[in-house]
Amino acid sequence: MGERTIPELLPGTLYMLILRTLSGGPLHGYAIAKRVKETSHQGLVIEDGSLYPALNRMLVKGWLEAEWGISENHRKARFYRLTPEGRKQLDHEAEEFDRLVRAIQLVMRTA
Amino acid sequence: MAKHERYQNRIELLQGTLDMLILQTLSWGAQHGYGIGQAIRAGSGDVLQVETGSLYPALHRLEKQGWIKSEWRNSEHNQRAKYYQLTAAGKKQLTSEYSRWSRMSAAIAGLMNPGESEGQA
Amino acid sequence: MSLWKETLRRLAYLGRRSRFDADLDTEVEFHIETRADELARAGMPRPTALAQARREFGSPARMAEETRSAWQFRWLEDLAADLHYAARAFRRNPAFAATAIACLALGIGANTTIFSIAAEVLFSQPSVRDPYSLVRVDIGGNSASPVREYEFLRDAHTFPGLAGENEEMETNWRDSDNTYRLSVVRVTDNFFDVTGIPVALGRPIQPGDSDRVVLTYGFWQRRLGGAPDVIGRKLLLDGRIDTVSAVLPRDHRTVTGFGFSPDLYAPVTDPKTYVTLYARLEPGTTRLAALSRLKPACQELDRAYPDGNHKWANNLHVSAVSGIERIDTEHELMRPVAGFFAVLMVVVGLVLLIACANVASLLLARASSRSHELAVRLSIGAGRGRIVRQLLAESLLLSACGTGAGLAINIGLTTLLSRIQLPLPIPIQFLIQPDWRLLAYAAAVALVCSLAASLAPAVKGTGVGISAMLKHGEHQLGRHVWTLRNVLVVGQLAASIVLLCAGFLFLRNLVNASAMSPGFDIEHTVWAYMRLVPESYRDPAKTRGLVDAAVERLRSLPGVETAAIARVVPLNNNMRRGTEVSTDLNSHGLHVEFHINYVGPGYFQAMQIPIVTGREFLPADRKGAPRVAILNQNLARRVFGAVDPARHFVRFGQGETILVAGVAKNSKYFSLGEENALAYYEPYDQSPGPVADLHFLVRATGRPEPLIPGINTSLGQLDPTASLEIKPMSKALVFAMLPSRVGAAILGSMGMLGLLLASVGLYGVLLYSVSRRIREIGLRVALGATPAGILRLVLRQSAVLSAAGIGIGMALAVFAVRPLARFLSPEVRPADLMNFVVVGAVLAAVALAATLSPAVRALRVDPVEALRHE
């Protein structure tokens, strides 16, 4: 079922998902959004309007670096890649998110 | 101490999640606000500590939407307290919230650990 | 750490803002194009795909804004927005802004000006190389030592460099037919080497030079017309031909400090000159270390020259030459000067506070009239902190403008001051230049003002309950008297009372000083200062001959009653001695300190100082004749008690016996404010010579001014190489009156300024109060109140505020003015009741004037209009 109607992702998780997506290698903005959408089987959609502000915030925080390159369709594009701080942040966020989800599951499964 | 605060922030942002947890708690029986907070904490193994600042507005919101209702009763220590309980609409909402949440967290988990998911598109 | 890196990244963004926008555009375009490609591959026609992709993307403008804000310093952007808003608000309400800025400008202008002067007088650095390794060396408890002793220490290499200078010297400069007396600093030939004083033109005096001089910029401009060919020019100084080898820069500051500004520097020519020693220390040497090196060197000195009556190794001092450190040292002048400036800083601080209170009051008034707007903003979620920040931004803008205007006032005043030549016997010129210290101080002051003025209104403005503000219920029905604004006004009035009391004291001091009699005649006396070329008058007999001839010539001039010679002119220069005195009646020595003068026959008559008992000096009291002396009444009473000292004898230490010829009436010797001074006179002929400075005192039968040209010619003919300065005695006293004039002028004007600012505050509060009560007044008039009754309403508020201000102010003033006593002459007592009465009356009068306009406004209220007024 097309879950395009799912609203914006939660702000904290958005960083985490972008970081995870980039852990496999540098991507440009469009590719990041696409990868997230595909890997989650349309479960998660990053609204275009939130993508670039989030990417820039991550640049300011030093989790990502950016540089210009040529995309697969031969156009000039800006590629983002994880920094060592970014990797650390990813691990940290993932760990915390795991804890959170498990805790919620605990409550939800108790009957 | 800081870690727990982070979770609290998360729950505030995850507005829907807090609603869901409250509805779940109330599905075990009527409870007053303090008791709901305690139940969530205990049920999550002390991980989720809900601030009253977020709990009571959420209860207010849920009541306004008709998913819970309240009445004044005497508590177990014989004090007057406002007790909340699930309505029929609330039960339905709980189910749909949970399924939505499950899908979302599955999707996220899938993205975070691609090896565990059913395979890439 | 990460915050630091983040800040750096944000700073980097500031530098590439324009490129950032372009880059973002490119990135967004790429995104849309790529999406369009996908759609097109799925079969959609390209233009439709593109349109669809754009739609999906959403509003690029908002996204761009949000993206940019990720990089911005949030607080900086907020501040810029706040300031912009504030500027717009002020443009809409120029009267408010103008008043606030004017008050601040006056307060900050006065404050920074006093700071500039204090910084220059107390903290300035001499123009030397590395002032922190240059020190002044005093040996034997003296501030100067003879050249012989200096050379010994220099050759002993106690320090890497030791030089000497004497700044109290003068020289006669003969330029064609005119002879001018110049102020010269005589220096040892290594002085410029050791101190590293920079020159603007030419090269300075170097070791080995004996006839080269260095001119100051002022002398070069004023006396030589700034001639470009000045280097190499020959000047005839004290009969010697010297060559100009350099000109100093315009901003040259001497090692002596205090704005002392001589005409030129020249080498020491007379080996009997006393020089003040300056030493250059190795880098890192402390003054204490230098002191410990000095002691053995001076002990060597004492052993080398056992003849002198000095023990040079005692009482050694090493003191700093630069700025702040100088205050610590026992520079005689420093303490009272520093004290005076401290008082001034407190005074201008108070003035500034009064000004800030005005601004705060204005902001408060504005806040309450904006209360509706603020309430709406609060209710739609603007945090209280945000609104406080906005109010702070407004007050910051006002302060910045006020500071700018204040600095303009400062620069105007200090430039004026730098041009003034003070009427002092030593040439002093202040060199006040605006520098980073002034800017830093002004910035700090602006910040403090901004906080002070805005805090109260900001807190109050956002503290009142929202519903109350929305109801716009600011009806002051006379019950809520002690609003914050009223408290501010009372504070202002109290502060200005304190200032007025101080100012009034100094005014009384000035009046007192003007009325004070110096004890000698100034109406009919002319003072002729003739300076001879010392080298031409080595023989004391020659000098005496000249003096006798001069006095005779002067006496023969028409309109001259009598003339006399004196070594010292009271209130202009001074000689003192402290010693043991014994008499023929009491051989037990008594320690006394007295002023001493050597005067010729006719002096007391010329100065109209009565001889109480005994006689004046006579021509017979010459060199070789028995020694005689005249005591003043105080000294006579101290040494001889009730006995008439005439014809008795005194003796100093183991010296000769001296006959007391007579007793002179007490007069003033050093300052107008002195009391109970002891003075001692000996005949000029019997004075130890030789002396090149001759002071002639001429008594005119009528007015003194017409005599001056005659005196000039007469004395000039005797020796054309001598310089002459002739003026009526009344002009000479200007120097003596200077401190009281300066004190009165500054403190008096500050008092007035404070009063003006406070009265503006009072006026503002009363006017505002009337405008707020228009409805009430209209009601009262409609119900039959008389004009007198309305007037009473306004007057009562004014009276309450003024009375409170005066009361609190007086109570504070009683304590605050006590420390001022040491700057005032003894007759002016700070605790005098009259002071307070006068000041209170002045303030009451001004307060009444400030009440007039609001009162008239209240009387003009038309009841019909008023009842419609909301």
Rounded to 10°, the helix A84-109/B2-13 angle is 70
Contact C27 A85 (CB under 8 A): no
The chain A residue lying nearest C60, using CA atoms, is: A49
pLDDT computed for residue C185 by the predictor = 95
Contact A77 C27 (CB under 8 A): yes
pLDDT computed for residue C479 by the predictor = 45
Centre a 10 Å sphere on the Cβ of residue C463 and count the other Cβ atoms it contains: 8
Q: Find the range with the poorest average confidence among B14-18, B74-78, B90-94, C189-193.
A: B14-18
Q: Running DSSP on this structure, what letter comes out for residue C131?
A: G
**Alpha-carbon distance values, B102 to B11, B40, B98, C353, C835 (Å):** 16, 18, 6, 65, 87
Q: Which residue has the tokens 């002639």?
A: C696
Residues of A in contact with C33 (CB under 8 A): 73, 75
Side-chain-facing half-sphere of C556: CA atoms under 13 Å: 8
Helix (H) or strand (E) holding A99: helix A84-109
pLDDT tens digits for range A21-34? 999 899 999 999 98
pLDDT computed for residue C473 by the predictor = 40
Q: Tell me the pLDDT band of B2, cut-offs 50, 70 and 90.
A: very low
Centre a 10 Å sphere on the Cβ of residue B43 and count the other Cβ atoms it contains: 21
Helix (H) or strand (E) holding B53: helix B52-64
Among C357, C349, C397, which Cα is nearest to C484's?
A: C357
pLDDT computed for residue C834 by the predictor = 83
- Residue C14, both tokens: 């500031």
Ranges A38-42, B94-98, C330-334, most confident: B94-98
Is there a contact between B87 and B103 (Cβ–Cβ < 8 Å)? no
- β-pairing, C240-247 with C234-237? antiparallel
Average pLDDT over residues B21-38: 89
Sign of the Cα pseudo-torsion (B21, B22, B23, B24, in order): positive
What's the average pLDDT block by block, 10 residues per block, for chain C (870 residues)? 79 81 86 87 89 85 81 81 87 87 92 90 87 89 86 91 92 90 94 95 92 94 91 93 95 87 93 91 89 89 77 83 66 73 90 89 76 64 70 87 92 88 79 85 87 75 49 42 80 91 88 84 93 89 92 94 94 86 86 93 95 93 91 94 90 89 93 86 86 93 93 93 92 81 88 90 84 79 82 86 91 88 79 85 88 83 71
Q: Tell me the pLDDT band of A106, cut-offs 50, 70 and 90.
A: confident
- Rounded to whole angstroms, the Cα distance separating C438 from C119 reads 9
Contact A53 C33 (CB under 8 A): no
For residue A103, give the nearest of B13, B45, B120 by CB distance.
B45
- Rounded to whole angstroms, the Cα distance separating C669 from C520 reads 10
pLDDT computed for residue A31 by the predictor = 92
pLDDT computed for residue A5 by the predictor = 33
Helix (H) or strand (E) holding C697: strand C693-700
**Which of B108, B116, B117, B118 to mutate: most A Cβ within 10 Å?**
B108
Q: Which residue has the tokens 């006590």?
A: C818
Neighbours of chain C (3+ CB pairs under 8 A): A
Would the pLDDT of A2 be above 70?
no
Contact C30 A76 (CB under 8 A): yes
The chain A residue lying nearest B14, using CA atoms, is: A10
pLDDT computed for residue C695 by the predictor = 95
pLDDT computed for residue C376 by the predictor = 66
pLDDT computed for residue C383 by the predictor = 65
Which residues, 6 or more positions from C23, have their beta carbon under 8 angstroms from its beta carbon?
A: A78
Which residues, 6 or more positions from C838, have their beta carbon under 8 angstroms from its beta carbon?
A: C504
Contact A38 B6 (CB under 8 A): no
Would the pLDDT of B8 be above 60?
no
Would the pLDDT of A67 be above 70?
yes
Contact A110 B43 (CB under 8 A): yes
Largest CA distance in chain A: 56
Secondary structure of residue C597 in the 3-state scheme: strand
Helix (H) or strand (E) holding C134: strand C134-138
pLDDT computed for residue B7 by the predictor = 46
Sign of the Cα pseudo-torsion (B95, B101, B104, B109, in order): negative
Side-chain-facing half-sphere of C680: CA atoms under 13 Å: 25
- Rounded to whole angstroms, the Cα distance separating A7 from C392 reads 40
- Rounded to whole angstroms, the Cα distance separating C816 from C343 reads 10
HEC readout, C495-520: HHHHHHHHHHHHHHHHHHHHHCCCCC
For residue A30, give the nearest of C5, C24, C30 by CB distance.
C30
φ/ψ of C10, rounded to 5, equals -65, -35
pLDDT computed for residue C628 by the predictor = 94
Contact A53 C34 (CB under 8 A): no
Contact A108 B98 (CB under 8 A): yes
pLDDT computed for residue A20 by the predictor = 92
For residue B65, which amino acid is it? Q
Cβ–Cβ contact A107 with B under 8 A: yes
Query: Would you call the peptide bond into C690 cis, given omega within 30 degrees of 0 as the criterion?
Result: yes
Domains and their CATH numbers in chain B: 2-112 (1.10.10.10)
- Residue C216, both tokens: 């100051």
Residues of C in contact with A61 (CB under 8 A): 2, 6
Residues of C in contact with A27 (CB under 8 A): none
Among C847, C839, C844, which Cα is nearest to C500's?
A: C839
Residues 50-89 of A with CB under 8 A from C: 52-53, 56-57, 59-62, 71, 73, 75-78, 85
- Angle value at C-alpha C351, between C476 and C86, nearest 5 degrees: 60
Which residues, 6 or more positions from C725, have their beta carbon under 8 angstroms from its beta carbon?
A: C181, C528, C529
- Rounded to whole angstroms, the Cα distance separating A54 from A56 reads 5
Would the pLDDT of A3 be above 50?
no
- Rounded to whole angstroms, the Cα distance separating C271 from C156 reads 19
- Rounded to whole angstroms, the Cα distance separating C811 from C814 reads 6
Name the β-bridge partners of C181.
Answer: C172
pLDDT computed for residue C478 by the predictor = 40
- Residue C504, both tokens: 């009034």
Query: A28: distance to nearest CA of chain B, Å?
Result: 18
Q: Running DSSP on this structure, what letter comes out for residue C260?
A: B
